[in-house]
């Protein structure tokens, strides 16, 4: 099994799992038969075996074109429109990808995932003299953050290459017919890729949203999709004993029912840092509604053992940890013997850093369990495109199942609108006049 789940350190009883077995079967049936809340957004469920092959071939061709024509590739998007590709690219490329000299891909930068003028200015200054291609991604086509970023890059590309030259370097991933971005892309003649109607942002990694940037980074998207297919098959088995995706879902649900409020995803590899960010968005937007849901947090060990490790060990006991551990990883260093041994490290002679890291993981696991923090461990047998493709499906499916166990619609995100309305009103966007007046009264003078 290429993904294993060990929940023996979570302090749960078999009975708790058995009591929920019928519920999880029902939740899976609701996903399969599209009978649950948000069933219009279940396109991701069988996407690994039902994706559009013609679009897939176009993604590969566009990736080759981009690789051959630019030094810097700018991916513009926010939330589900960038986190999946950033997570996969960070997990599967060199730690210092953009600085590598023998890289067979352009440097990759992300934009439109914040509204920082400093970030935008720094990025524009950095890439302005390089050859650039842009992939602007927005399902709605109207999200403010990527729209602002795209305006700057569109202007820059048109100045640099002329309108015709720019249009060959801009790729738009959006709805098949609606939204300002679709309209603009059609007007300007950009190559466009479609985010299917029934696939929501955070479930869109297997569509062009994720695949085009991932392919540009030189990652084998065939292997990635094979992993997704393997997940689709393996986690389609309706049996708690044989389905690790069911087990992870039940473990979270049981701990939530026992009063835990926060799940912390733990990694010991810096390359998994953005995988945690993607996971947080997946769960935060899917579960967190109607006054329910586990707060998804993440830590990066051993770095954070020297920071929030303290509060995990000794703080309020409303948390549990899920560790993402990798069995086989490329790249390692061995500690050598040193005659003087002034740092006292000769006891580690001939031990690899991966070995030391593993002992840090196991020691921390036991310490935190002793500190009353339940732990679960997801083991990934290798960090490669196949296994990451499978892990994405593992979490997407577990998230859909978990949402139904919780009794929420895991495929909408109504809470995201509140900040947008206030921001538009404070920016004096036409149509928000009444709200502008009400909000401005509440602000400090
Ligand atoms: O998961 C989601 O649906 C959201 O996080 C969206 O991806 C995010 O808000 C960006 O939306 P859009 O792609 O419409 O610009």
CB of 412 within 6 A of ligand 1: the answer is no
Average pLDDT (184-197) is 96
CB of 113 within 6 A of ligand 1: the answer is no
Q: What is the pLDDT of residue 288?
A: 96
Q: Is the ipTM of this complex over 0.90?
A: yes
- CATH label, 3-35+225-406, candidates 3.40.50.10490, 3.30.1280.10, 3.40.50.300, 1.10.10.60: 3.40.50.10490
Residues 6 or more apart from 80 whose CB is under 8 A from it? 139, 200, 201, 202, 203, 204, 209, 281, 285
Ligand 1, atom 3, lies closest to the CA of 201
How many C-beta neighbours within 10 Å does residue 152 have?
A: 17
**pLDDT tier at 216, thresholds 50, 70, 90:** very high
Average pLDDT (247-259) is 97
Which residue out of 81, 279, 414 has the highest number of ligand 1 atoms within 8 Å of its CB and is therefore the one to mutate? Answer: 81
Over the stretch 132-146, which tens digit does the pLDDT of each residue have? 999 999 999 999 999
Q: What is the pLDDT of residue 445?
A: 77
**Distances 353 to 160, 269, 356 between C-alpha atoms, Å:** 47, 12, 5
Label residues 370-380 b or e (16+ Cβ within 10 Å = b): eeebbbbbbbb
Active site residues: 285, 420
Q: What is the pLDDT of residue 103?
A: 86
Cα 158 off chain centre by: 32
- Report the mean per-residue pLDDT for the chain: 96
> Do the Cβ atoms of 354 and 329 come closer than 8 Å?
yes
> Do the Cβ atoms of 351 and 335 come closer than 8 Å?
yes
Average pLDDT (263-274) is 98
Q: Which of ligand 1's atoms lies nearest the C-alpha of 209?
A: 13
> Do the Cβ atoms of 268 and 357 come closer than 8 Å?
yes
Cα 32 off chain centre by: 23
Q: Can you give the residue ranges of every domain in the chain?
A: 3-35+225-406, 47-219
Q: What is the pLDDT of residue 102?
A: 86
CB of 173 within 6 A of ligand 1: the answer is no
Which residue out of 41, 139, 180, 195 has the highest number of ligand 1 atoms within 8 Å of its CB and is therefore the one to mutate? Answer: 139
**Smallest Cα–Cα separation from 245: which of 2, 17, 4?**
4
> Do the Cβ atoms of 260 and 317 come closer than 8 Å?
no
Q: How far apart are CA 110 and CA 72, in angstroms?
A: 10
**Smallest Cα–Cα separation from 92: which of 388, 349, 379?**
388
**Residue 229 phi/psi, 5° resolution?**
-65, -40
Q: What is the pLDDT of residue 18?
A: 87
pTM of the predicted model as reported, rounded to 2 decimal places: 0.97
Tokens of 345: 């490290």
CB of 293 within 6 A of ligand 1: the answer is no
Residue % of the chain over a pLDDT of 90: 97
47-219 topology per CATH:
Rossmann fold (3.40.50)
Over the stretch 342-393, which tens digit does the pLDDT of each residue have? 999 999 999 999 999 999 999 999 999 999 999 999 999 999 999 999 999 9
**Smallest Cα–Cα separation from 48: which of 389, 404, 410, 395?**
389
**pLDDT tier at 63, thresholds 50, 70, 90:** very high
Query: 138 C-alpha vs ligand 1 centroid, how far in Å?
Result: 7
How many C-beta neighbours within 10 Å does residue 143 have?
A: 22
Q: What is the pLDDT of residue 1?
A: 73
**Distances 323 to 256, 264, 301, 333 between C-alpha atoms, Å:** 17, 8, 10, 23
Sign for the pseudo-dihedral over CA of 360, 363, 367, 369: positive
Indicate whether 101 pLDDT > 90.
no
**Smallest Cα–Cα separation from 169: which of 252, 67, 31, 259?**
67
Query: 78 C-alpha vs ligand 1 centroid, how far in Å?
Result: 6
Please determine whether the domains at 3-35+225-406 and 47-219 fall in the same fold group of CATH.
Answer: yes
Residues 6 or more apart from 307 whose CB is under 8 A from it? none
Q: What is the pLDDT of residue 282?
A: 98
């Amino acid at each position: 099994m290429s993904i294993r789940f060990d929940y023996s350190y979570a302090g749960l009883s078999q009975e708790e799992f058995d009591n929920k077995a019928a519920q999880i079967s029902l939740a899976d049936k609701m996903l399969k038969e599209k009978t649950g809340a948000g069933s219009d957004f279940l396109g991701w469920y069988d996407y690994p075996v039902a994706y559009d092959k013609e679009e897939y071939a176009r993604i590969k061709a566009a990736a080759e074109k981009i690789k051959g024509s630019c030094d810097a590739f700018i991916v513009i998007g926010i939330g589900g429109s960038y986190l999946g590709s950033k997570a996969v690219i960070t997990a599967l490329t060199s730690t210092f990808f953009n600085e590598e000299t023998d890289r067979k891909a352009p440097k990759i930068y992300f934009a439109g995932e914040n509204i920082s003028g400093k970030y935008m200015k720094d990025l524009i200054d950095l890439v302005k003299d390089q050859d650039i291609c842009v992939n602007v991604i927005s399902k709605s086509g109207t999200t403010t953050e990527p729209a602002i970023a795209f305006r700057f890059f569109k202007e820059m590309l048109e100045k640099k290459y002329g309108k015709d030259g720019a249009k060959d370097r801009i790729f738009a991933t959006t709805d098949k017919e609606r939204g300002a971005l679709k309209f603009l892309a059609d007007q300007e003649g950009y190559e466009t890729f479609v985010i299917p109607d029934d696939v929501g942002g955070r479930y869109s990694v297997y569509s062009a949203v994720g695949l085009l940037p991932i392919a540009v980074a030189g990652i084998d998207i065939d292997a990635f999709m094979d992993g997704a297919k393997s997940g689709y098959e393996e986690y389609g088995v309706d049996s708690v004993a044989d389905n690790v995706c069911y087990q992870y879902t039940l473990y979270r649900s049981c701990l939530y029912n026992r009063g835990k409020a926060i799940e912390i995803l733990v990694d010991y590899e810096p390359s998994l840092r953005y995988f945690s960010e993607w996971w947080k968005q997946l769960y935060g937007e899917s579960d967190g509604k109607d006054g329910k849901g586990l707060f998804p947090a993440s830590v990066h060990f051993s770095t954070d053992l020297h920071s929030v490790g303290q509060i995990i060990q000794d703080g309020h006991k409303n948390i549990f940890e899920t560790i993402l551990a990798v069995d086989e990883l490329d790249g390692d260093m061995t500690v050598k013997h040193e005659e003087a041994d002034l740092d006292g490290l000769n006891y580690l002679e001939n031990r690899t850093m991966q070995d030391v890291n593993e002992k840090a993981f196991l020691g921390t696991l036991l310490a935190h369990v002793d500190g009353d923090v339940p732990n679960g461990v997801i083991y990934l047998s290798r960090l490669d495109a196949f296994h990451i493709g499978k892990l994405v499906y593992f979490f997407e499916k577990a998230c859909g199942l978990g949402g139904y166990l919780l009794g929420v619609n895991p495929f909408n995100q109504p809470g995201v609108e509140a900040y947008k309305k206030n921001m538009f009103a404070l920016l004096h966007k036409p149509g928000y006049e009444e709200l502008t007046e009400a909000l401005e009264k509440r602000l400090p003078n």
